[in-house]
Amino acid sequence: MKALKCIILLGVMVVSAASAQGNLEVNTPAIGQVRASMQARHAQLAPHYASGAVGLGADGSVVLRDANAVPLAQRQAVQGLVAQENSDRAALYREIARANGHPEWEADIRAVFAQRWIERAQAGWYIQSAGQWARK
């Protein structure tokens, strides 16, 4: 899938390339499990987004961008949360591509979600663009 277009159709984001279409909102047991894990972790990550310690990477990942903003006693736990979140995000992209019958779309799906995460970030959170960090 070389060209990726996003179309919002009746509230469902659709990935299209040539004659192929894929649903980014597809749900399978594996996708549901990953989403539930991410949702449960969000409450733990939210204060670190707000403090600027953690930011949203341009590549669809979460980044510990300022370790000094996290008390030393909590740093290892936050690093673990970031690693778990990135593992789940990679699994989400992979499973959505598989559920659409096109595992080769994984990188394109990651790119669409990276944009989606950044668009939905709360004001004050750090987002990465063109290698630079800025508050939204």
What is the pTM for the complete model shown? 0.83
- As a whole number, mean pLDDT of residues 4-27 equals 52
Q: Is the pLDDT of residue 10 over 70?
A: no
In contact, 99 and 52? CB cutoff 8 Å: no
Q: Could you give the CA distance from residue 103 to residue 116 in angstroms, rounded to a whole number?
A: 20
Main-chain dihedrals φ then ψ at residue 43, nearest 5 degrees: -60, -30
Closest CA relative to residue 1, chosen from 105, 111, 97: 105
- The pLDDT of residue 21 is 58
